[in-house]
Chains A and B, each alone.
Chain A
Amino acid sequence: MKRVLEGSQAVAEAVRLSRVAVISAYPITPQTHIVETLSDFCAQGKMNARFLRVESEHSALASLIGAATTGVRAFTATSGQGLALMHEVLHWTSGARLPIVMAEVNRALAPGWNIWIDQTDSLAQRDTGWIQFYCESGQEVLDTVIQSYRLGEEVNMPVMVVLDAFFLSHTYEPVDVPEQEEVDRFLPPFVPKFKADPAAPCAFGPLVPPAAYMEMRHSMAQAMEEALRCYPAMEEAFEGLFGRRYGMVEAVHCEGSDIVLVTTGTVTSTCRQVLEELRGKGEKVGLLKLRMFRPFPTDEIRRHLGGAKKVAVIDRNFSFGASGIFAQEIRAALCNEPGHPPVFGFVAGIGGRDVTADTLKGIYEHVKAKESPDRESVWVGLQEVRNEA
């Protein structure tokens, strides 16, 4: 049934439909609408779940470690500072192989205080062993949360579903909310592969000596590869039931295009418009939407970008002292391909600044005008700052 929902509400509906048993969260703008909606669901009995109103994000995820180890489906949501505080526990979750799902609303990191979109918070957690999806729409958010439980539980890895602050979390769109029975068909009840049980006692997460630790880490690496392998079948099943599919990446007119723009999140929607406009003018331009960031779909990226003459990556994030993080990753994915295209990196929309159609067109013109990038990253739309000191 189509309903007009905020992105945050779409997350909450998906959590409800996934029959999550324990939710634990600490409020932070712009994640608050997610936890408020879920609190309501629990209070009204729309969900049979425990909502833990813990005293910090660290405790939110830590409590889910307890819940998931005790054998239930678990969910949390956070943003920016909250995710940074969770950092230690993010590692713990993946190391403990707990398929917890988190909605992470991208928010800029302080100081100064900034509650608006910036992807650095989630990208800073790329090495914590979480699967990451970057979503473009309310529908995609809803679908991705449901898919995340299935994928995460299959490979025993946690999943972060990332959405843009306000542009997605607080934006109302029509969303097709599936029926519970349909979702149940796609996502059966959680059957944990292990759990804390007095009838079969063992210790989880003990001291692990060098003789054994490396194999556990390798097992996590394999699980990420397994997630890449499982993904198509999972999405096929999803499409069979719901008629929607997203792909690890989405390639729009990549084939035969000279220049391919790479985007994530809501910028992609703006880019789709720009693409139509430019192609209408005869420009050979394509778009690659990067949806799955961890595990990184290297093969897909090579396949869709390998034929382009130039690639332009738009990053709403930055790794200080290096470049935009997506650009880095795409360069790394392409570098071993013979004759791969040059990758232009653009940093735009940091801290909630708009990335408009004009911004994107400007980027296109810049790339078109150059043979190869002058430097790794170009910061787009910087204003002159008068230094008061």
Chain B
Amino acid sequence: MKLEVLDREYMYPGHVACPGCGAAIAMRFLLKTLGEKVIMVLPACCWSVIAGPYPQSTLKIPVIHSAFETGGAVATGVRAALDIQGDTETMVVTWAGDGGTFDIGFQALSGAVERNENFIYVCYDNEAYMNTGVQRSSSTPYGAWTTTTPGREWKKMRKKNIVEALVAHRIPYAATANIAFPEDLVTKVKKARDTKGSRFLHIFATCPTGWRIPSEMSVRIARMAVQTNIFPLYEVEDGVRYTINYKPKEFPVKEYFHLQGRFQHLTDEDLDHIQDMVNEDWQLLLRKAGERTP
């Protein structure tokens, strides 16, 4: 595929992401779209490590590492400081994992978005606390094994719908994206770049280590999440205008689950139940987007 992105890299090789890391791919796409006029706020997440141990940095942009729960707040301050210095060109981007977004950082994110702070918040979602060793987050999907939902205690709650939570703030732009759909991802990063106020990108980023899949399957699994409607690609403008960007053939969810070690314990009944939930969510989304539902 040909991506309309800058023919430059804003990441150095030699970073310590696991082989096949979806979050590394997502970062690369983001920066190749945004370019160098970016200050990045990086609350605790896998990327706190990937970004490089002192004295190394793997990113060619300035990065402000921050406390776990402060992604929305630190960016607020950076933006204010840039504005007061007359720099309206440099973009502020918070790059956080699902823990730092859905859980511990949700308050600061909600606050920043309620204030409509002028920044892009990107959540790369690998569906658990991966950096600390695969513990459950509120982004962990129903049915998943993690080190804190082991054995029969696999997660019995649904994944939090973070985009809807932000849409409830009437955020000017919120979108889902996926590493397996780079063109869509790049389009959304550009749209986010060109929107004023708070912008939220929820990027599905496979974690081969935590999901117990071979590294070369990283992109395929991400693609399947979209193809099965587990992770639909859509965007919402001003909290009201929904657009579904990709209409999949709605493959059954089974294979997606079968391929991943974290779901190996699920029975056919469990998968049927999950299929029902996925269908229900999809119908709900279709209704919001004003699409015909069966």
Contact = CB atoms under 8 A, between A and B. Distances in A.
Are any A and B Cβ atoms less than 8 Å apart in their complex? yes
B12 to A, nearest CB: 11
A54 interface: yes
Contact of B37 (A88, A198, A206, A207): A198
Most buried by A among B39, B60, B73, B108: B73
Given A56-B107, A198-B38, A65 B66 contact: yes
Nearest to A209: B53
Q: Indicate the size class of the contact surface on chain B.
A: 35 or more
B193 to A, nearest CB: 15
Interface in A54-93: 54-56, 58-60, 62-72, 74, 88-89, 92
A58 B73 contact: yes
A66 B77 contact: yes
B88 to A, nearest CB: 13
Interface string A189-205: 00000001110111111
B114 interface: yes
A256 to B, nearest CB: 51
Mostly, the B contact residues are mixed
B74 A205 contact: no
Nearest to A200: B62
Contact of B73 (A21, A62, A198): A62
B267 interface: no
Contacts of B52: 203, 206-207
A74 B78 CA distance: 11
Given A56-B107, A56-B111, A201 B72 contact: no
B144 interface: no
Contact of B65 (A55, A59, A68, A205): A205
Most buried by A among B49, B63, B75: B63
Interface residues of A, number: 43
B84 interface: yes
Contacts of B70: 58-59, 62, 65, 89
B293 interface: no
Interface in B102-147: 107-108, 110-111, 114-115
B9 to A, nearest CB: 13
Nearest to B83: A50
Given A66-B81, A212-B55, A54 B76 contact: yes
B67 interface: yes
B36 A203 contact: no
A65 B48 contact: no
A103 to B, nearest CB: 18
Contact of B81 (A62, A71, A208): A71
Contacts of B60: 201
A177 interface: no
Nearest to B69: A58
A208 B85 CA distance: 30
A72 B74 contact: no
A207 B42 CA distance: 12
Contacts of A56: 107-108, 111
Nearest to A71: B81
Most buried by A among B54, B57, B69: B54
Contacts of B54: 206-209, 212
A52 interface: yes
B224 interface: no
B66 A62 contact: yes
Interface of A: 21-22, 24, 48-50, 52-56, 58-60, 62-72, 74, 88-89, 92, 196-198, 200-209, 212
The 7 A-B pairs at the shortest CB distance, nearest first, are namely A66-B77, A55-B111, A63-B77, A59-B73, A70-B81, A67-B77, A205-B65
15 contacts: A52-B77, A56-B107, A62-B69, A63-B76, A65-B77, A70-B64, A74-B77, A92-B67, A203-B57, A204-B65, A205-B64, A206-B48, A206-B63, A207-B53, A212-B54
